[in-house]
Homo-oligomer: A and B are copies of this chain.
Amino acid sequence: MAQRKIDELLQDDIGFGDLTSEILDPNVKIKAVVVAKGEGIVAGTEEASYAFSRLGARVTVRKHDGEKVKPGDILMEVEGGAREILAAERTALNLLMWMSGTATATAQMLEKAREVNPKIVLACTRKSPLPIFDKKAVEVGGGDPHRFRLDDCLLLKSNHLKLLGGVRMALQKIRKSFTKKVEVEVGTAEEALEAAMYGADIVMLDNVPVEEVRRTVELLEQKGLRNKVLVEVSGGINPSNVQEYARAGPDVLSSSYMTMHAPALDLSLEIL
């Protein structure tokens, strides 16, 4: 049901109508292709197809979500009214460019991380302008979407802990739901241990040096709690330090790099 969001993107971009394309004869039909001008992993083909089809065009996808492309590759063919295809162009290509950029960055960072830690998970965050598209793109790239909203897992952050009197008190007060996991943000190995002892399913080390990650993993192992909790690390993870953090042994790295700073995949719409 991301369709309503795409309808809104189209409507916000088109307004009273595409003044420029209105010059074109309403009966002119064209065939166009979306061509890669860069290299990466494709994501957003369903979304872009929907945007074109909403204005009456027929789309044939040539490269599906998850496939690799290089410059010159055709991602999709579009047939329909010239006016309509050009009116949908920006919205459709924006979705495809952003989502492919995010998927590509996710796959690249994940690959790096797994070279040194083969089971590690790479997750995104809620720092995401268009979450319904961004989260999906991360999944296409092999990443984990993390929480979708404030309602789908309990994440006690430092502000909650401050208000509730620390990790232990907070974990004793929370109203659990049996279908939801409980995660706690911690700053040291000792806090992580406390969280694990009082029932957290996941501990998130936020903005800590690599060394603290390593110390946390070791402390949890010593105390026999390593299998009780997942260890997540967040804060400033990016392509340049992802391997270093991965090597320290956590289960999950989460980063807003993929949804906030990944370069979009360069694309163009070419009329045949």
A-side residues, CB < 8 A to B, are 1, 4, 7, 10-24, 28, 30, 32, 82, 86-87, 89-90, 94, 97-98, 121, 123, 126-132, 135-136, 139, 144-157, 159-160, 162-164, 170, 173-175, 177-181, 183, 202, 230, 232, 251-252, 260-261, 263-264, 269-271
Among B7, B144, B269, contact of A177 (Cβ-Cβ < 8 Å): B144
Among B4, B19, B164, contact of A154 (Cβ-Cβ < 8 Å): B19
Query: For residue A87, which residue of chain B has the nearest CB?
Result: B150
Contact across chains for B13 and A149 when beta carbons are under 8 A apart: yes
Contact across chains for A14 and B178 when beta carbons are under 8 A apart: no
Closest 7 CB pairs of A and B: A15-B151, A18-B150, A15-B149, A152-B152, A129-B129, A16-B151, A1-B11
Contact across chains for B129 and A19 when beta carbons are under 8 A apart: no
- Chain B residues within an 8 Å CB radius of A269: 159
Contact across chains for B179 and A181 when beta carbons are under 8 A apart: yes
- Chain B residues within an 8 Å CB radius of A155: 20
Among B121, B131, B145, B230, contact of A12 (Cβ-Cβ < 8 Å): B131
Among B16, B24, B173, contact of A160 (Cβ-Cβ < 8 Å): B24
Contact across chains for B23 and A164 when beta carbons are under 8 A apart: yes
Since A14-B151, A19-B150, A19-B152 are in contact, a sample of 16 more A-B pairs with Cβ atoms closer than 8 Å, ordered by chain A residue number, is A13-B150, A16-B135, A19-B154, A20-B150, A20-B155, A20-B174, A23-B160, A30-B163, A90-B150, A94-B128, A98-B129, A129-B129, A145-B177, A179-B181, A179-B183, A260-B264
